Structure 1
Amino acid sequence: MMGNNRISILIIWLTLLIGLCVQIIPWSPEYNMFKPHLLVLVLAYWLIALPHRVGMSVAFLLGIVLDLFSGTLLGIHAIIFCCVAYLLMFKFQLIRNLALWQQSIIIFAVSLCYNLLIFLLQVIIYHTVTISPLIFISSFVDGLLWIVIFLFLRLIRRKFAIS
Structure 2
Amino acid sequence: MELLGWCWVAVKVLVPLWLASHIIRWFLPSEVADRLEIVDNFILARIASIPVFLSNAWLVSAQICYYVGNFFAVVLIAFGAVIVGYSIYLQRETLQFSFAGAYQLAGQLAGDKVAWSGATMLIAATVAICNMWKLNLDRKQYFEKQEKELLERIKKEEEVRREQMKTYHVPMEPTKPFE
Question: Could you tell me the TM-score, scaled by structure 1's length?
Answer: 0.25
Q: Select the structure of larger CA radius of gyration.
A: 2
Higher relative contact order (CA 8 A, sep 6+): 1
More helix by share: 2
